[in-house]
């Protein structure tokens, strides 16, 4: 559902940019530091939007690649810590083994590792 919303938002954004570009067809002077040129504003808008979209897309792909690599390394570490006894599936068992593995590494507090929290005595 989230993917569909993002796709619809992207199409609406592209439509707004296209309409905006078509309205602005006047020629403008563009300064490239080393040269100046006169080009239609529609091209400046469309090329700028395209380059911005490609930049955002590349950063998104880079982030996704890094996250997948992190997931793979954590799954490998979990497999090593559980001794390979863990079967795929069984979300509760998997979650408990992740907590146990993190507790074994000392990454979780005793509360998060499933230990009973210390209780203060009640004063009457």
The CA distance from 123 to 74, in Å, is: 46
Burial class (CB in 10 A: 0-12, 13-18, 19+), 103: middle
**Is residue 120 a part of any domain in this protein?**
no
**Is residue 113 a part of any domain in this protein?**
no
**Is residue 117 a part of any domain in this protein?**
no
Single pTM value for the model: 0.54
32-43 in b/e form (b: 16+ CB < 10 A) is eeeeeeeeebbe
Q: What is the pLDDT of residues 67-78, one digit of tens each?
A: 999 999 999 999
CB 28 within 8 A of CB 41: yes
Question: How many domains is the chain partitioned into structurally?
Answer: 1
**Is residue 13 a part of any domain in this protein?**
yes
Q: Is 76 helix (H, G, I), strand (E, B) or coil?
A: helix
Residue range 44-52: average pLDDT? 91
**Is residue 100 a part of any domain in this protein?**
yes
Q: Is 60 exceeded by the pLDDT of residue 83? A: yes
- pLDDT band (50, 70, 90) for residue 88: low
**Containing structural domain, residue 11:** 2-104
């Amino acid at each position: 559902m989230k993917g569909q919303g993002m796709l619809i938002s992207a199409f609406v954004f592209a439509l707004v940019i296209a309409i905006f570009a078509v309205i602005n067809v006047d020629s403008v002077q563009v300064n490239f530091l080393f040269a100046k040129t006169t080009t239609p504003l529609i091209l400046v808008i469309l090329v700028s939007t395209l380059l911005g979209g490609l930049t955002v897309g590349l950063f998104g792909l880079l982030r996704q690649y890094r996250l997948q690599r992190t997931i793979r390394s954590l799954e490998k570490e979990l497999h090593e810590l559980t001794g390979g006894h863990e079967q795929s599936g069984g979300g509760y068992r998997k979650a408990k083994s992740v907590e146990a593995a993190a507790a074994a590494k000392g990454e979780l507090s005793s509360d998060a590792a499933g230990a009973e929290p210390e209780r203060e005595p009640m004063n009457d």
